[in-house]
A and B are shown apart, each in its own frame.
Chain A
Amino acid sequence: MATESNGVSKLKTPEIKFTKLFINGQFIDSVSGKKFETIDPRTGEVVTQVAEGDKEDIDISVKAAREAFDHGKWPRMSGFDRGRILLKLADLIDQHGEELAMLDSIDAGKLLHITRAFDIPFAASCFRYYAGAADKIHGETLKCTGEFQAYTLKEPVGVVGHIIPWNFPTVLFAAKVAAALAAGCTMVVKPAEQSPLSALYLAHLSKEAGIPDGVINVITGYGPTAGAAIASHMDVDAVSFTGSTEVGKLVMGAAAASNLKTVSLELGGKSPLIIFSDADINMAVQTAWQAVFFNQLPKHSVQGEMCVAGSRVYVQEGIYDEFMKKAIENAKNWVVGDPFDPQVDKEQFDKVLRYIESGKQEGATLLTGGKAIGEKGYYIEPTIFTDVKEDMLIAKDEIFGPVMSIMKFQTIEEAIEKANNTRYGLAAGIVTNDLNIANRVSRSVRAGTIWINCYIITDINIPFGGYKMSGFGKDSGLQGMEKYLKVKSVITPIQNSPWL
């Protein structure tokens, strides 16, 4: 396996322009004056210091968002006018795409050519999609049984708290913020402490685009302080969280104990990828690669830090041996290293290595990889285990790293049963050309997104969100706005009318 250099970059780190909290249209220090460091996972070195927001800063930003919602223009504008401003923001994202792509790469260790080609354009498309949806939010008129005129109005829910993770900083900022803005809400965004920089840049661009002060606020800081303050705030109307299942439970518990704010959670997964014997072998291996290593282009790999990773690969026995041969061949052609693809931080790095150890201890066969690379930064070799059993930790827990577990199956019933044998339910993949297998398995696997002959196809039109302990609530698509809307019913008697 070829390895390029790591930690010695040919690309220059851009100047970091925005490192303070963004509240009510201004960049300001935190009340405490505290700062925290954000680390470059390529090298383990500090990129810059960023303002550390805590409860007081959340309080100030919620006040600003509340004022902007109750008395400001944003919710009272027409959807069309909000849409125009969102389009402006999309254009600004395009114009500053290179800088944003670099920020996500430096901050989160993402491949620069992918942040350039996918993350940033996708974020811009989120803003454009919801810009076009903002004036198409329809309630319904109802036909009642009695003599009543009744209709529903869909109204913005109010002040929203967004808590976003570090694996797709710009994408998830866009998916959540664009939908909430289109609906007419105001918000406080708490980006992950590992990747605060692009959120602050986007806040700056939002002001340039014309989003009024107080509508978007960004508080950088930590989960247990700033994040918890949002989840427990008595004046936040809804919280939208993407992250681990463990923290998702804390968010929901805090929402319940405080003011019963509505909650949407997009959490972890242990998604199955089921490959049937009739699959084209090359396509099957490519899909599996994409599912775990997010390998969009050959010869480059990513860190496996995706909630939807197809980390359990079930291969039907008819093509199993051929599949393994191809997998090993593929492994030989990897390149790991700069530009930009380590694990996001030391904690994740250590966790993944621990899981690899447990895989070996529990008796799985290590086919390739399994070790850290280099002395600087958080790089891990793409790792494949086979002879994995359902009760091993590597088969049950979400690893969130470049570790693929391959398991064999015989019958379709066995595949379905094993696929569903998890508390998670985020996504699943099926590789087959047989129509009946595709229909049957897609209806039998309990997961929020089923990819057939593809994986990780994201499209802003497609509602995305899990079943079971992968959470609830959808991002993307028109459904993505529902979390930020409340339905109000209005009923009036119809008097002296022969027609209902």
Chain B
Amino acid sequence: MGGYNGSVEFKIQFTKLFINGEFVDSVSGKTFETRDPRNAEVIASVAEGDKVDVDLAVKAARNAFDNGAWPRMSGYERGRIMMKFADLIEEHAEELATIDTIDGGKLFSLCKAMDIPHCVHLLRYYAGAADKIHGETLKLSGEFQGYTLKEPIGVIGHIIPWNFPTAMFFLKVSPALAVGCTMIVKPAEQTPLSALYYAHLAKLAGIPDGVLNVVTGFGPTAGSAICSHMDVDKVSFTGSTEVGKIVMEAAAKSNLKHVSLELGGKSPLIIFDDADLDKAVNLAHNAVFFNKGEICAAGSRVFVQEGIFDAFVEKSVEMAKSRVIGDPFNPEVQQGPQIDKKQFDKVLKYIEYGKNEGATLLTGGKSYGDKGYFIEPTIFTDVNEHMKIAKDEIFGPVLCLMKFKTIEEAIEKANATRYGLAAGIITNDLNIANRVSRSVRAGTIWINCFFIFDPSCPFGGFKMSGFGKDQGLDAMHKYLHVPVDPDVDADYVEAI
């Protein structure tokens, strides 16, 4: 594994719940373990929050919203504090990148080069937007002055997943902070550590007590308590479609809190004959293997036009075979371990389905090494739409290659899914690009690129990939209400 000696000196500083500005044990005193997926060893014991802890956190957030400074500050002042928060994160980037690598099996070099800078960027973006939240004055049909005001919704519950612990935290927290909401964050039980560190930095930055609370714990207990809470105004969830349904139902049964969901995908990548072959192979490779395949927008169904299909297959297999798997701290490594045993087992199961259902395994297909949760980059071809590997979200390094003839066929196949998160198109033909981008029912269409997550650009799915957008100014809408004030200009006028 190259000239890297494989050891990392690190001390985990924050392992307790963060409620109302203090790190506290859970009411029950219980803790749970978070493991290093490189070797399945325990990294730390973290406080395990449950319903009672969520209740305390919501009370703190409610008080901070109804009576505290944060929502009543000008957007400009909130922006200043958020900028300070961004600066502090930059100062501690090395430590934070290390935490996400150990906790999530993510590549250390990418955490430093992408994840952390991206979240800093998000914070600064929304810091600059906080004082630019505009309602409208309306021209009415009758003699009335009417206008809309955009107001923070209130107390938000953010339930975030383990695949991008830092990015997910800030995708949700930044716009919510900017508009003046208060919140409880429940990070995934697989990756609780960086969220607690961010809570510490938030306090240092000057975010008032109670505005940002972090309750570590499990979905069915802490997560569920947030979704059913009668005093949470909105829940924002990123995770699987299956759990997304549970979140929305709990919201409906309790207090009809607003819901936004960013769920799974089985995103198509459509490669036309006129594509530059090397670029296409590269994009497809990253579309599925990036972050060990643990990404909702993965281009897990790759449709290649028949003219370049054979050449494409050959180059893809070559590239997959040369992919370096190993310790994510090693800068030469391209792929770290899957997040935990459950995911590891699931991916291997899908690989078995693929073989059993008659797809052709071109490369990979097995676990790697004897410690931890590593899986070889895997490519199947001769995949048809009815196979499980073509329909279900695998969330691992498994690429399904399929051939197509015509543009109509590609569009039809691309849309033959209950998901609609993203899609990619590779072509230089303007008409193909315009036509296919308008025809594929997905929330984000990447043309000649993939995984471009620019902070200005709204991201969120269609169909069963969820609803609501992260990123862009749109993301703030999720955390804003729009009340309307019509009033009479002068004397009271009878309406009819």
Binary contact readout B252-264 vs A (1 if CB under 8 angstroms, 0 otherwise): 1101101001010
Is B256 within 8 A of A265, CB to CB?
A: yes
Find chain A residues with CB under 8 A from B142 CB.
457, 459
- Name the B residues within 8 Å of A245 (CB-CB): 256
Q: Does A80 make an interface contact (CB < 8 A)? A: no
Q: Does A11 contact B (CB under 8 A)?
A: no
**Cβ–Cβ contact A248 & B256, under 8 A:** yes
Give A461-493 as 1s and 0s: 1 = Cβ < 8 Å from B's Cβ atoms. 111110111011010010100000011111111
The answer, yes or no, to whether B447 is at the interface (CB within 8 Å) is yes
Is A283 located at the chain interface by the 8 A CB criterion?
yes
B171 to chain A, nearest CB (A): 14
- A374 within 8 A of partner (CB): no
B469 within 8 A of A: yes
Question: Quick check: B457 and A260 within 8 Å, CB to CB?
Answer: no
Report whether A488 and B148 are in contact in the complex, using a CB–CB cutoff of 8 Å. Answer: no
The contact string, 1 if C-beta is below 8 Å from chain A, for chain B 229-273, is 000010000000100111111011101101001010000000000
Measured in the bound complex, the distance between the Cα atoms of B252 and A265 in whole Å is 11
Given A452-B486, A454-B487, A262 and B252 touching (CB < 8 A)?
no
How many A residues touch B, CB cutoff 8 Å?
A: 74
Interface membership of A117, Cβ < 8 A: yes
Q: Which of B151-166 contact A (CB under 8 A)?
A: 151
A residues 234-266 with Cβ under 8 Å of B?
A: 237, 245, 248-253, 255-257, 259-260, 262, 265
**Distance, CA A167 to CA B342, complexed state (A):** 53
Determine which of A260, A451, A456, A489 lies in contact with B443 in the assembled complex, contact meaning CB atoms within 8 Å: A489
| B26-34, B83-91, B299-307, B477-485 - interface stretch | B477-485
Residue of A nearest to B420 (CB): A486
Q: Which of B233, B263, B484 contacts A448 (CB 8 A)?
A: B484
Closest to B139 in A: A461
A392 at the B interface (CB under 8 A): no
Contact residue among B140, B149, B448 (Cβ-Cβ distance under 8 Å from A443): B149
25 interchain pairs, CB-CB under 8 A: A145-B455, A146-B454, A148-B452, A150-B454, A153-B438, A249-B252, A252-B251, A252-B256, A253-B252, A256-B248, A259-B464, A260-B245, A262-B467, A265-B256, A447-B483, A448-B482, A450-B484, A459-B142, A462-B486, A463-B482, A474-B482, A488-B437, A491-B452, A492-B433, A493-B449
Q: Closest chain A residue to B249 by CB distance?
A: A256
B8 near A: Cβ within 8 Å? Answer: no
Contacts A448-B482, A472-B256, A477-B138 supplied; 5 other A-B pairs, CB < 8 Å: A146-B454, A150-B456, A487-B474, A489-B445, A493-B449
- The answer, yes or no, to whether A271 is at the interface (CB within 8 Å) is no
> What are the interface flags for B94-117 relative to A under an 8 Å C-beta threshold, 1 for contact and 0 otherwise?
000000000000000000000000
A-B contact count, CB below 8 Å?
200
Min CB distance, A173 to chain B, in Å?
A: 20
User: Which residue in B255, B458, B462 is a CB contact (below 8 Å) of A423?
Assistant: B255
Contact B487 A118 (CB under 8 A): no
What are the residues of chain B within 8 A of A252 when measuring CB–CB? 248-249, 251-252, 256
B445/A488 in contact, CB under 8 A: yes
B256 lies within 8 A of A462 (CB): no
Interchain CA distance A288-B45 in the complex, whole Å: 60
- Please tell me the number of chain B residues within 8 Å of chain A, measured between CB atoms: 68
Contact between chains at A145 and B456 (CB < 8 Å):
yes
- Inter-chain contact B248/A255, CB cutoff 8 Å: yes
Q: Are A257 and B249 in contact (CB under 8 A)?
A: yes
Residue of A nearest to B254 (CB): A249
A47 within 8 A of B: no
B149 to chain A, nearest CB (A): 7
Known A142-B454, A286-B492, A488-B444; contact A457-B144, beta-carbon cutoff 8 A: yes
A488, B492: Cβ atoms under 8 Å? Answer: no
Asked if residues A491 and B449 are in contact (CB atoms below 8 Å), the reply is yes
- Bound state CA distance, A296 and B483, in angstroms? 24
**B286 nearest CB across to chain A (Å):** 14
Contacts of A256 in B (CB 8 A): 245-249, 251-252
B260 → A minimal CB distance (Å): 10
B447 touches A125 (CB 8 A): no
Q: How far is the CB of B437 from chain A (nearest CB, A)?
A: 5
Cβ contact within 8 Å between A454 and B448: no
A442 contacts B by Cβ under 8 Å: yes
B244 touches A260 (CB 8 A): yes
Q: For the complex, give the distance between the alpha carbons of A248 and B445 in Å.
A: 34
Q: When each residue 63-85 of chain A gets 1 if its CB lies under 8 Å from chain B and 0 otherwise, what string results?
A: 00000000000000000000000
